[in-house]
A and B are shown apart, each in its own frame.
Chain A
Amino acid sequence: MVDAILSTRNITKSFGALKASDDVSINLYPGEIHAVIGPNGAGKSTLIAQICGTLKPDMGDVELLGRTITHDGPQQRAQMGLGRTFQISQLAMEDSVLQNVVLGALGASQKPWRFFQKALSDYALLSTAEDALKRVGLEDMQHMQTSELSHGQRRQLEVAIALTLRPEAFIMDEPMAGLGAEGSKRLTGFLDELRNEAPILLVEHDMDAVFALADRISVLVYGKVIASGTVDEIRSDKRVKEAYLGDAE
């Protein structure tokens, strides 16, 4: 069996009496899209925070490429190859689209201590940034101020920044949220190809996208993984229907 790129091993996190993560073990294998679904308050965001390092689990470990990263901060994890997109866009709104992506390239190069040359004349930074913009289809908007972008374009920009880091794994927190049908379809097509570059852990509410994309799905309810399997297995799982899909349909 192939080794997992990213895994959580029995991670548990409580806030007072509330168990936000209860013994969660999830593996992300090369080339796959692993979707995590669950009703509101199921602990999806807490899980992502622990994977990306903004929260530390009470128990259990997070591993990336076989290395335990539980005690590394979010910045180290980004350097080691976790590319993250946020549910609520985290972008420098006063800057241009290009500047936001160049920031990603700068992070990837790990050389921010240059005080005198122009960042936007640096060939290496620019070519990385422009490649990433082209791939998400924002190349015509690179000189726009980020605050002028539509909601969907901001999501694309988030993905572009993650691309500049050439990550080992992508963690995407509801990338489809607020995208129209058209935008959602485009991003679905894009992620479908992206999985060959690095596997994607996808937290998503849009069930059409999840069923179209996911190789495997884990269902989180009250902090616990109640089911994990292929799309067909999850669709036909009785507990999942009760806990989640039943409510929705």
Chain B
Amino acid sequence: MHKRSTVIQGRREEDAVARFTTESRRRALSARRLRRGGLALALMAPAVLAYVVFVIRPIVMTVQYSFYEWNGVTPSTWVGLANYVELFHNPELSGSIVHAFELIIFFSFVPVALGLFTANAIRGFATSRLAVVSRTVLFLPQIIPLVAAGIMWSWQMSTDGLVNQVLRLLGLGRVGRAWLGDFNTALPAVGVIGAWVLFGLCMLLLLAGMTKIDPALYEAARVDGAGPFREFFAITLPSLRQEIVVCLTVTVIAALASFDLVDNATRGGPGNSTLVPGLEIYYLAFFQREVGMASALAVALMVLVLAVVVPLQLINREGKS
């Protein structure tokens, strides 16, 4: 009783003090904010400058180039939207975009699906020695340059390479072939390399997400008689929404903007069967000297990436609120 009254009294005093201080504090804050504003601008200036000169300006220039026909040397001519129209009508150009989307299946869906499956299978012993070692091992593909992955795998997938050796060992020697040299298998083969690179990152991200799920949820589910499947779809999957979105975002960008890997594994061949937008931009702009056309494709690529990533992020935000 006695205690409560002092608390109330104390609160009243606090209220009075608070009213007084909020008034003066607000004034002090706004003065400080003005002073801070100038300082903040000065602190941001170098970063903004670097960003504007080396990112924003080039983006604007790419858009500008895309309306011209230009070989990079002689004066350019305005062609309006002709380059964009060409983008849809030229099978080589539109094909490269289709290829990029086909790569998403391998770069994104395979690592995420396989990652979910594996993470779910090993979540029970995520702190064991084997799991700790696997963290390091599965991360190796992430830290090597993609160029190296391309070179390495183009060797593994050659006629006498490791892949065919393993197939022969399994009695499947007949399906063996030069995987990256075959019109039918080159693009999926590049996709497999991408999956190899991105699997570890996805798996570990998903596993980290799974360890954050309250174990009581699983125990409750088991008590209610849920099997592993019900458990996975009712508890694990919904709790991992954020991690899945992150994996998809990272891998989809890797697929759409792939360059290093494809350049070193196949150089777009055989024919144009593995030509992706990144490579096509590079070839058009710096070898065939069609700067305008290359820029139009570059704009299309940037728009495509945003068109895929922005909805993904919106899903993520919905999940949070």
Specify whether A and B are partners. Answer: no
Residues of A near any B CB (own CB < 8 A): none
